[in-house]
Amino acid sequence: MISILMRFFRDETATASIDYVIVAGLVSIMIIVGATHIGTQTSANFSNAASAM
């Protein structure tokens, strides 16, 4: 039983996968925040253009 646990804790094959998942999650959050900001700015620009007419 102890040897199975030791082998599990020494196994590093899944660490790269976890790193990629974390990076992908952070990139997704950055894309969502950026798209929201761009959408807000675009909406404000169209509102300003509509009120100027």
pLDDT at residue 14, as a whole number: 67
Long-range contacts of 16-25 (CB under 8 A, 24+ apart): none
pLDDT at residue 42, as a whole number: 93
Enclosing domain of residue 48: 12-52
In a domain, 1, yes or no: no
Q: How far apart are CA 18 and CA 20, in angstroms?
A: 5
In a domain, 4, yes or no: no
Domain count, the chain: 1
In a domain, 39, yes or no: yes
Segment 1-53, tens digit of pLDDT? 788 878 877 777 767 778 888 999 999 999 999 999 999 999 999 999 999 88
pLDDT at residue 18, as a whole number: 80
Residue corresponding to tokens 């761009």: 38
In a domain, 2, yes or no: no
In a domain, 7, yes or no: no
Query: Could you tell me the pTM of the whole model?
Result: 0.60
- Retrieve residue 14's tokens: 């899944």
